[in-house]
Amino acid sequence: MNAEALSAPPMPGDAAALIADMGARARAASKTLALAPTADKVAGLVAAAAQIRARAADILAANAEDMAAGQKNGLSGAMLDRLQLDDGRLAAIADAIDDVAALPDPSGAEIDRVTRPNGLVLSRVRVPLGVVGIIYESRPNVTADAAALGLMSGNAVILRGGSEAVHSNRALHAAFAAGLVEAGLPADAVQLVPTQDRAAVGAMLRAQGLIDIIIPRGGKGLVARVQDEARVPVLAHLDGINHLYIDGTADPAKAVELAINAKMRRTGVCGATETILIDRAYPAPLAIVDALVKAGCEVRGDKAILALSPHVDAASAGDWDTEYLDAIVSIAMVDGLAGALAHIDAHSSRHTDAIVTEDAAAAERFLTGVDSAIVMHNASTQFADGGEFGLGAEIGIATGRLHARGPVALEGLTTYKWLVRGTGQVRP
């Protein structure tokens, strides 16, 4: 069965009409999903994963089209790498859907319950948000990941992928939707915007009442545009300008190991450390600098760090506010915990910041005093990840303060309602 044909709306020239039509269909599907038993959603996910495996040849052929176009259009090596699928990556995409199917269903879970003196029993119960819009760039795996998280949490999703992955996204979406239909779920539960016209993104961002939340997945340019234009609430993932503070009492072996891991394990992820702060009282700063240099990292330091080693370049003022996403680190010497807190307050993007210390009281002051989505003690900032946090998957790491903060997975795609059970109580 061609699920894409089933779910494809007419192609009006008017982006607002297109999104209004998709939104209405998504709303209708969301009402079915909100009441769907967990077993039905699991069956849909398992069938979607099976369809992706069964259609591997088609999906890889579609991806080859995207890769050819990308090479012709001069995409960077990094972008081509994000775009490329192969047997292993496609198997991982299907397996990730099965992994989501194995997670606990958040919808219907009771958050709390209280009996009032008048006998009314109040409870808060999680329910899906409704219709979730995902706007993303080159990685085709987001098509399947977002669809799976949306479905499992009982939401309908409207996906708008990047033009460089258009064939891959269509093939993955068609497979996913075919799985849903096979399992008796509405194909409109997961819709892919059928045009790459940028006006469709604008229409999604202004679709109040049709789309309940927009989640942008991509670079700064995309996220900034979404935040700037959106009239629909946005769950945004901004910079990860993350700090690792080496306290005076830090264990030197841990300090070196954590600095290397936090900065260098993978330099392109949002949880990578970008700035290391070293307490002036810490006895072995040079060992940290040397280890980073030896690991292939460019070190940019303030005057005190610059004086330590000929391998350090002078940091400019802008370095303290830069997310390198590369093998570059800025290092500053600070006056103890207070100096670290002041630097972090001034420069952190409030994503993930960590302290290395053997002083439990200093650790607690840091955990309390740093106002970031994730604050760590004696752990690598690279753990900032929904999978590592036990959430099973993540749709993003929210750097805002409302609704959800840090890694967002199934629970972040729900809201709650209040249930009040009485026996005829009237209000005096």
- The correct pick among 182, 251, 290, 321 for binding a second copy (CB under 8 A) is 251
CB contact at 8 A, 313 and 231: no
> Which of 35, 61, 286, 342 contacts a second copy by CB under 8 A?
35
Q: Which of residues 357-376 bind a second copy (CB under 8 A)?
A: 363, 367-369, 371-376
Binds a second copy (CB under 8 A): choice among 49, 213, 308, 315 = 213
Rounded CA separation 274/39 (Å): 44
Asked if residue 265 binds a second copy (CB under 8 A), the reply is yes
The C-alpha atoms of residue 76 and residue 78 are separated, in whole angstroms, by: 5
Give the footprint of a second copy on residues 81-100 (CB under 8 A). Answer: none
Closer by beta carbon to a second copy, 315 or else 363: 363
Token pair in block for residue 12: 């009006």
What is the distance between the alpha carbons of residues 187 and 414, in angstroms, rounded to a whole number? 21
**Closest distance to a second copy from the beta carbon of 387 (Å):** 11
DSSP code at position 234: B
Is 337 a binding residue for a second copy by CB under 8 A? The answer is no
What's the sign of the alpha-carbon dihedral 331, 337, 338, 342? positive
Tokens of 29: 């599907």
Q: Which stretch binds a second copy (CB under 8 A): 136-144, 185-193, 250-258, 285-293?
A: 250-258
Closer residue to a second copy (CB): 194 or 407: 407
* Contact call for residue 38 and a second copy (CB under 8 A): no
Residue with tokens 């012709």: 72
Q: Per DSSP, what are the bridge partners of residue 268?
A: none
Do residues 134 and 146 touch, judged by C-beta distance below 8 A?
yes
Count the residues in the chain.
428
Out of 77, 296, 318, 390, point to the residue binding a second copy (CB under 8 A): 390
What does the alpha-carbon distance between residue 292 and residue 307 come to, in Å, rounded to a whole number?
A: 16
Which of 100, 127, 187, 288 is in the footprint of a second copy by CB under 8 A? 127
Residue 261 makes contact with a second copy by CB under 8 A: yes
Residue in 234, 249, 229 with CA at minimum distance from that of residue 400: 234
**Footprint on this chain of a second copy (rule: CB under 8 A):** 31, 34-35, 108, 114, 116, 120, 122, 127, 129-130, 212-213, 233, 251, 254, 257-258, 260-262, 265, 345, 354, 363, 367-369, 371-380, 382-383, 388-390, 400-403, 405-407, 415-427
